[in-house]
A and B are shown apart, each in its own frame.
Chain A
Amino acid sequence: MIALLRRDLRLALRTGGGFGLGLAFFLMVAVIVPLGVGPAPQTLSVIAAGVLWVGALLASLLSLDRIFALDYEDGSLDLLATSPLPLEGAVVMKSLAHWITSGLPLVLAAPVLAVLLNLVPNAYFWLILSLFLGTPALSMIGAFGASLTVGVKRGGLLLSLLVLPLYIPTLIFGAEVVKRGAMGADVMVPLAVLAAITLGTWAALPWAAAAAIRINLR
């Protein structure tokens, strides 16, 4: 299973692998929003948490269709499904590889970009923590959506429509953590719910995704 993770990371980092796509998108959102909204620091600091979370969510969405579609097209998915590797484990590893290449860079870049949006200083820690806890859920939910649309050519639109509603709880609680953190209020409740969503998706969705892939391979 580690071999699959390493292969996926290596593929992502090589030419055409899509590493940096999400990060570049995230960067553009954070740079463009102040230009569109106007430079007033008051306004920016109000919307900063929401904009950063929406940016992270859309950036994660960009690379979802690659999770299984590329392996489906070149036949690797058939071969993976017939290999000794459990398909559920393959889903976990591919989601993890997606998070490392698209979610983790966002977590690391967020504090830098938050400066552009004039985020309140005491919210930085909560921004990083909420993204760190929340983005794995985005990758796993996305992998589930990708497994449902794996046989569909140009399934990007369908994938987005399926996945976006499932992203909403993560977005709401993630942004809520940062907002409460900025106000100095208690963040435990949204933080706990955010962590629960991530743990729940990683516990349940690999089975659902593997089942969907098996049906799509028939």
Chain B
Amino acid sequence: MLQGADLTLSRGGIPVLSGVNFTLQAGHALILRGPNGIGKTTLLRAIAGLQPFDAGTLTGAEDQIAYGAHADGVKATLSVHENLTFWAACFGSKGVDRAMSAMNLDALSDRRAANLSAGQKRRLGLARLLVSDRPIWILDEPTISLDSASVMLFAQAIRGHLGQGGSALIATHIDLGFAAEVLDLSQFRAKSSTGAGAFDEAFS
């Protein structure tokens, strides 16, 4: 349902990845791996539509993606329920209560987000994916600051999503406990010499 062919990406003018190919089927998850700075976040942001690809084609992304970034987009002065209701209204969906209980946020419903712990905030950020009603989840290090019980809860939510025919593209280093293909990005590292060479040529 999501297919990338020969994707080339740069960050701040420096090429980071080139020739990335992947296919994400409905009901499947794809885990991105690779060392820090390889371009996992850049790839995910580009797939989410926040930055353009230098080359290559991405098919199936239009209006299908829910993006979970490093930052949760949680408003500190709004309550947990208000935060989630806003995103549900944004995506035109209704499942706020279902998402709250799936992420074990029921007891925190009226608490201001400013008074949440980092892990609770993260759970609120992930509950946003559940109310988005979008088939493809793009997740950037979703388990940061979650305790092991919450990781299990989150893995369960992803399994439920995959079971309903959704799919997920996840950059993570931990084992989420379900079968998923792994895409190692180190093999697609852009050759920095091409960029530098072109520069030298222009000025020589």
Q: How far is the CA of A142 from the CA of B22 in the complex (A)?
A: 43
A75 to B68, CA, bound (A): 10
Quick check: B78 and A11 within 8 Å, CB to CB?
A: yes
Is A42 in contact with chain B by the CB < 8 A criterion? no
Complex: chain A residue closest to B133, CB-CB: A84
Q: What is the interface of chain B mostly: helix, strand, loop, or mixed?
A: loop
Stretch of B46-54, B159-167, B177-185 at the chain-chain interface: B46-54
- Does A35 have its Cβ within 8 Å of any Cβ on chain B? no
State how many angstroms separate the Cβ of B96 from the closest Cβ of chain A: 12
A22 to B202, CA, bound (A): 52
Q: Could you mark each residue 1-35 of chain A with 1 if its beta carbon is under 8 Å from any beta carbon of chain B, else 0?
A: 01110010011001111000000000000000000
Q: Given A75-B70, A217-B50, is A83 in contact with B90 using a C-beta cutoff of 8 Å?
A: yes
Complex contact A10–B78 (CB within 8 A):
yes
Contact partner, B75, options A74, A81, A84, Cβ 8 Å:
A74
Within 8 Å CB of A7, what residues of B? Answer: 75, 78, 82, 86
Nearest chain B CB to A60's CB is how many angstroms away? 22
Size bracket of the B interface = 20 to 34
CB of A78 within 8 A of CB of B86, answer: no
- A76 at the B interface (CB under 8 A): yes
> Nearest CB to that of B65 among chain A residues?
A82
Residues A80 and B67 in contact in the complex (CB < 8 Å), given A11-B75, A16-B77: no
**A79 in the interface (beta carbon within 8 A):** yes
Which single member of B49, B63, B73 contacts A76 (CB below 8 Å)?
Answer: B73
CB of B195 within 8 A of chain A?
no
- B146 CB-CB contact with A under 8 Å: no
Beta-carbon contact of B91 and A84 below 8 Å: yes
Chain A positions within 8 Å of B77 at CB level = 11, 14-17
The 3 closest A-B pairs by CB, nearest first: A75-B71, A3-B89, A76-B73
